[in-house]
Amino acid sequence: MDPTPDVSVLSLFELHGSNVLITGSTRGIGAACALALAQAGANMCLVQRHPAPDNLENKDTYDAIIAAGGSATIIHCDLEDLDQVRGLFSRAVEVMGGHIHVLVNCAGIQRRNPSVDFPENDWDDVSTPGLHCFCSS
């Protein structure tokens, strides 16, 4: 039996009509994921921090999706604020027309240590003063 499907590989990953909620999409791996999912036809809901008063909002990923003919919406959420996080999904469902089909969590923090010296408490710590989530800058 030939296990090869009788459809193109790209059609197996086609996402037209799907809504994706993604954090961490303003740079790096998250931005690459957002662009790829949009290219596959998904409607993107990009989660970003509120821009600082003296800074412009980083809309590079949003602009790239729109320029390529895709659909994107930005919603703001500080992922270090648990109250904001608790309301994030319901807000995303509302702005995306009632459905989220795919969730991609790419927001994160960065700490640099050699692997063998990485402190165990850093794996679980989410509230270190001065440590910022790189989810939207």
> Would you list the domain boundaries of the chain?
13-124
Condensed to tens digits (0 to 9), the pLDDT of residues 5-39 reads 677 777 778 999 999 999 999 999 999 999 999 99
Residues 6+ apart with CB under 8 A from 134: 24, 27, 28, 107, 108, 109, 110
Superfamily of domain 13-124 in CATH is NAD(P)-binding Rossmann-like Domain (3.40.50.720)
Most distant CA pair in the chain, distance: 62
CA pair distance 85, 55, nearest whole angstrom: 23
Q: What is the pLDDT of residues 103-112, one digit of tens each?
A: 999 997 777 7
Task: Indicate the pTM of the whole model.
Answer: 0.76
pLDDT tens sequence across 63-89? 999 999 999 999 999 998 999 999 999
